[in-house]
Amino acid sequence: MMLNPSDGLPDDRKSLYPQSQSSAYKCGDKTSPISVILVSSGSRGNKLLFRYPYQKVAECPSSLSAKQRNPYVLNTSGDELDDQDGDSREQSPLTDEQLVAGFSDIVLSTILATKSDMCGKKFELKIDNVRFVGHPTLLQHPPIIQVSKTDPSPKREMPTMILFNVVFALRANADPSVISCMHNLSRRIAIALQHEERRCQYLTREAKLMLAVQEEITTTETDGSPQSPFRQILPKCKLARDLKEAYDSLCTTGVVRLHINDWLEVSFCLPHKIHRIGDTYIPPEALERSLKAIRPYHALLLLENEKTLLSQLPLDCSPALIRLIKTCSAVKNLQQLAQDADLALLQIFQIAAHLVYWGKAIIIYPLCENNVYMLSPHANICLYSPLAEQFARQFPGHDLPSMLAKFSLPVSLAEFRNPLEAPTQEAQLIQMVVWMLQRRLLIQLHTYVCLLVPPSEDEPGLRDEDPPLAARVGGRSLSTPSALSFGSPTSSDDMTLTSPSMENSSAELLTGGDSPLNKRMTETLLASLSEHERQFILNIPAAQNPEDLRMFARLLHYFRGHHHLEEIMYNENMRRSQLKTLFDKFRSVLVVTNHEDPIISIFQSPMD
Amino acid sequence: MGKKLIGCPVCIEHKKYSRNALLFNLGLVCDARTNTCSLEPIVKKLSGYLTTLELESGFISKEESKQKLLPIMSTLLEDLNATGACTLPIDESNTIHLKLIQLRKDPPIVQEYDVPVFTQCKDHFIKSQWDLTTQQILPYIDGFRHIQKISAEADVELNLVRIAVQNLLYYGVVTLVSIFQYSNVYCTTPKVQSLIDDKSIQEECLNYVTKQGQKRASLRDVFQLYCGLSPGTTVRDLCSRYSQQLQRVDERRLIQFGLMKCLIRRLQKYPVKVIRDERSRPPRLYTGCHSYDEICCKTGITYQELDERLENDPNIVVCWK
């Protein structure tokens, strides 16, 4: 950016900026790109091959047009950015369109076509309010260039392209995660283009077409009326249409699917557009954290109906994916799904994470009658919302607000059951609950339990100094097969289809008999407590029953408020009634509360 | 390289220079991963200053004054990294002052039924540094008065109060909670566990909620009280059920702290008029978009009155969220 103190801008040009600013803001929000640009650098210098949209681009920095005061002035090398090839740049008169659009083609080609040693890395450049992000890629030509028979160009000598860069221009204040996603897309397109170039010189051919159209337009522009060469390029070049499609998709749905040269598929999704609840989006890092924490007792809920989803898949997609989609259901947990679809649990996790990332599914706790649901704080309960309309169409005779009102207080599905009603009513209720879960209107509440022993009366100070149980027992890791890292799968030993294996298997404690072994185990487990706590617990009437005490000691490490009832049931293979009775017996030292599961609540409500 | 470069190049064209132009650029080198938005205004300001200096006295082009650049740059680097502010004396008549300003998120819109509460002790703030409107409303911000009430009692126009509080929100001086009533219903959020896990929040909480002049409340009592809040339970119910735990705890401050730290959340009531006949007018306020708090504030009726009105209307359902 150049600051020219002796700014000789005529007044009418100055007034253009507010206008171009307002029109630039019309297109999309912070997660949408402002423009897509393709530049190349080669033996003929730096070229801007294509840009879209060609009318409204970045906000114009006032100083840039200072250079373009007079459209007939030659561009001198007062430009301090070096032209690495040292070639003279072709001079073309700048049209009004290009001026209004902010950065001119020539400036863009200079700044975006980098040197070769910046290739293969992330490229990011911010100028005032615009941020350019791309992945410059080096092209390697085979030593003998075959002149393709289908090459339309009459010239025998092929100007070589050394590198190219697919650049997305974003608003400067875009989120870093959006920037790295755009870089990812640029890289994907670059890989496809590089491959096609090696195979059949696709990029060189498209570039030639683009440049030919640009030259044609400038030479025929004798009457001074500006035409955008890029508009003419679109019908002639597939690559230009692909780039335009990428831009349009990014601005609307966030899902990009291109077929470079009608051959290579490039697919990409922008999580910020897909995972939106109202106005806010779920940041991808939060999404990934949640996905890493899913457990075999969770379930996968598809957000679209099975047929629609299957039709969206490419022809050569993995059969495992198809099998999973066909077998998954809201009442089946992932472990059951693995058995039914005949796939390894690890694979199920990976495919599930993939579907969630692409916004095709969410993670829930499998539907069962003991599940307790409540209205989500972010649910749109407005009478005139599009959701209300959809609901009325899907379930005639019912209206959404009345249904939602039923979930004002936490209610379990069992409470809806009416033995006098026909079973179809119940089935419809399940469908309605699934519908509401898919649209993030409901959250599920779980019971969490925390051990807090009443402080001793005589030594109040001591109690407060004891670190809470959570801190003391923190070292133990509950490693049920859950670890899912993107990239390095855990060993398949952990991912068995049989019962979960726990490192600190407290299942070793035999439930029968009061053997000295069991007693010692109980003592060891209680050893992590302070003396006062242990005494208090042992004095509880329920503790006199060795079975109960043993169960309590065994489950001690769950009582930190981070594991809900269903998780304990799953890990320890216990019944709900057993646990509830235990909690009741030891209620003088346990504090129980209900709230949503923070791991999967991200799918219902964005991070606050 | 892993580094980020921030610069603002300047070009001064004049015949006296040996190429008819002087080009210079004072830049900052930072780690690629850091957020450098707040450094940009500094770079811009510096380039503006240097340009002026050059135009006035040829600061950069003259050899003697150019030497001064080195100590200036090292002071800049050290002071900005140490304190975020620096003063650069150039010569007898010129000094440059620079300061890093933190960019904050845009604050939400403040509604008339929101209640501002100070995040730190009120006395920490020097009143005279704030604008007149803020100074006038400061004494009325007690964590219990809502915006409408503050406006009425401080005799300041409602929108001015909203803007002033929004400004305080921007700087993190206050945060917003909801109106307190004994009929309110709250429920816990997953963050409530942080009371157990995080020692500093524990300390802060116990100090905040203990009744004046009493021995410090125990963690167990306070945690039990928070966990006792659940849908369907009003604060009044809580007080009668947990009277023993409340001996040393001020329930109003308990709720306030819980809301400020997001350990609990308020469940608001939203009436929705489920349309039954075509002839009646479409509902204006009973659409599910306006809570009881908002309706009562706007229309001036009390909760009880609104409750009575709506309970007798079979066309209206109430959602809690």
Interchain contact, B274 vs A402, CB within 8 Å: yes
Write out pLDDT tens, residues A171-183: 877 888 899 999 9
Spatial separation of the C-alpha atoms in residues B222 and A454, rounded to whole Å = 11
Interchain contact, A448 vs B321, CB within 8 Å: no
Residue A444 has φ and ψ, to the nearest 5°, of -105, 135
If you write DSSP's letter for every residue of A534-577 in order, what string do you get? HHHHHTSGGGGSHHHHHHHHHTGGGTEEEEEHHHHHHHHT--HH
> How would you label A150-183 residue by residue, b for 16+ Cβ within 10 Å and e otherwise?
eeeeeeeebeebbbbbbbbbbbbebbebbbebbb
Spatial separation of the C-alpha atoms in residues A136 and A194, rounded to whole Å = 11
Interchain contact, A562 vs B272, CB within 8 Å: no
Q: What is the pLDDT of residue A523?
A: 76
Q: Residue A112 corresponds to which tokens in the numbers above?
A: 């975006």
| Set of chain A residues whose Cβ sits within 8 Å of the Cβ of B28 | none
What Cα–Cα distance (Å) separates residue A112 from each residue in A132, B8, B10? 8, 18, 20
Alpha helices in chain B (DSSP H): 40-57, 63-66, 69-82, 132-137, 147-154, 158-170, 194-197, 199-209, 219-228, 235-241, 251-260, 292-299, 303-311
CB pairs under 8 A between A and B: 138
Spatial separation of the C-alpha atoms in residues A387 and A400, rounded to whole Å = 8
Residue to test with chain B: of A115, A179, A587, A595, most B Cβ within 10 A? A595
Check if B289 contacts A (Cβ < 8 Å).
yes
CB-CB contact of A351 with A320 (8 Å)? yes
Tally the C-alpha atoms within 13 A of residue A178's C-alpha that lie toward its C-beta.
25
3-state secondary structure A70-108: CCCCCCCCCCCCCCCCCCCCCCCCCCHHHHHCCCCHHHH
CB-CB contact of A550 with A523 (8 Å)? no
Of A377, A562, A596, Cβ closest to residue B321:
A377
Spatial separation of the C-alpha atoms in residues A16 and A65, rounded to whole Å = 11
| Set of chain A residues whose Cβ sits within 8 Å of the Cβ of B196 | 450, 452, 468-470, 560-561
CB-CB contact of A48 with A39 (8 Å)? yes
* 3-class DSSP state of B24: strand
Interchain contact, B231 vs A410, CB within 8 Å: yes
Chain B nearest C-alpha distance from A44 (Å): 28
Close Cβ partners of A307 (under 8 Å, ≥ 6 residues apart):
none
Taking alpha carbons only, the member of A351, A286, A312 closest to residue A489 is: A351
What's the full length of chain B, in residues? 321
Interchain contact, A3 vs B10, CB within 8 Å: yes
Of B11, B220, B265, Cβ closest to residue A78:
B11
Close Cβ partners of A562 (under 8 Å, ≥ 6 residues apart):
A448, A470, B193
Spatial separation of the C-alpha atoms in residues A426 and A415, rounded to whole Å = 11
Mean pLDDT of chain A: 76
Check if B103 contacts A (Cβ < 8 Å).
no
Write out pLDDT tens, residues B97-121: 888 888 888 889 999 999 999 988 7
Comparing alpha-carbon positions, the chain B residue that sits nearest to A381 is: B288
Phi-psi region of A332 (alpha: psi -120 to 50; beta: other; left: phi over 0): beta
Q: Residue B271 corresponds to which tokens in the numbers above?
A: 């009436």
Close Cβ partners of A487 (under 8 Å, ≥ 6 residues apart):
none
What Cα–Cα distance (Å) separates residue B311 from each residue in B273, B282, B304? 12, 19, 10
| Set of chain A residues whose Cβ sits within 8 Å of the Cβ of B218 | 454-455, 460, 463-464
What Cα–Cα distance (Å) separates residue A158 from each residue in A205, A238, A275? 10, 21, 46
Residue to test with chain B: of A381, A403, A607, most B Cβ within 10 A? A381
Interchain contact, B189 vs A404, CB within 8 Å: no
Question: For chain A, first and last CA: distance in Å?
Answer: 38
Cα B286 vs. chain centroid, distance in angstroms?
30
Of A2, A454, A593, Cβ closest to residue B11:
A2
* 3-class DSSP state of A592: strand
What Cα–Cα distance (Å) separates residue A404 from each residue in A331, A379, B231? 21, 9, 15
Q: CA Rg, chain B, in Å?
A: 29
Spatial separation of the C-alpha atoms in residues A222 and B317, rounded to whole Å = 71
Residue to test with chain B: of A123, A183, A591, most B Cβ within 10 A? A591
Which B residues, 27 through 66, put their C-beta within 8 Å of a C-beta on chain A? 35, 37, 47-48, 51, 55
Phi-psi region of A516 (alpha: psi -120 to 50; beta: other; left: phi over 0): alpha
* Amino acid symbol at A183: H
Q: What is the ipTM of this complex?
A: 0.84
Interchain contact, B289 vs A382, CB within 8 Å: yes
Chain B nearest C-alpha distance from A595 (Å): 6
CB-CB contact of B146 with B115 (8 Å)? yes
Residue A64 has φ and ψ, to the nearest 5°, of -60, -40
> How would you label B190-204 residue by residue, b for 16+ Cβ within 10 Å and e otherwise?
bbbbbbbbbeebbee
Close Cβ partners of A522 (under 8 Å, ≥ 6 residues apart):
A509, A546, A549, A550, A553, A554
| Set of chain B residues whose Cβ sits within 8 Å of the Cβ of A469 | 196
Taking alpha carbons only, the member of B86, B101, B98, B85 closest to residue B36 is: B101
> How would you label A481-506 residue by residue, b for 16+ Cβ within 10 Å and e otherwise?
bbbbeeeebeeeebbbeeebebeeeb
pLDDT along chain A (608 residues), means of 10: 40 34 41 88 87 57 40 38 39 36 79 87 87 89 53 58 90 86 94 92 91 82 62 90 93 90 90 77 83 90 91 86 92 93 92 90 91 90 88 90 91 83 82 91 93 72 46 42 35 32 41 63 76 85 86 89 92 92 91 90 64
Spatial separation of the C-alpha atoms in residues B233 and B227, rounded to whole Å = 11
Of A80, A470, A593, Cβ closest to residue B23:
A80
Which residues of chain B fall short of a pLDDT of 70? 1, 276-277
Chain B nearest C-alpha distance from A209 (Å): 36
Interchain contact, B231 vs A374, CB within 8 Å: yes
Chain A nearest C-alpha distance from B155 (Å): 34
Check if B108 contacts A (Cβ < 8 Å).
no
Interchain contact, A383 vs B215, CB within 8 Å: no
Q: What is the pLDDT of residue A227?
A: 66
Check if B196 contacts A (Cβ < 8 Å).
yes
Q: Is the dihedral of CA B285, B289, B291, B294 positive or negative?
A: negative
3-state secondary structure A291-307: HHCCCCCCEEEECCCHH
Q: What number of other Cβ atoms are within 10 A of residue A354's Cβ?
A: 15
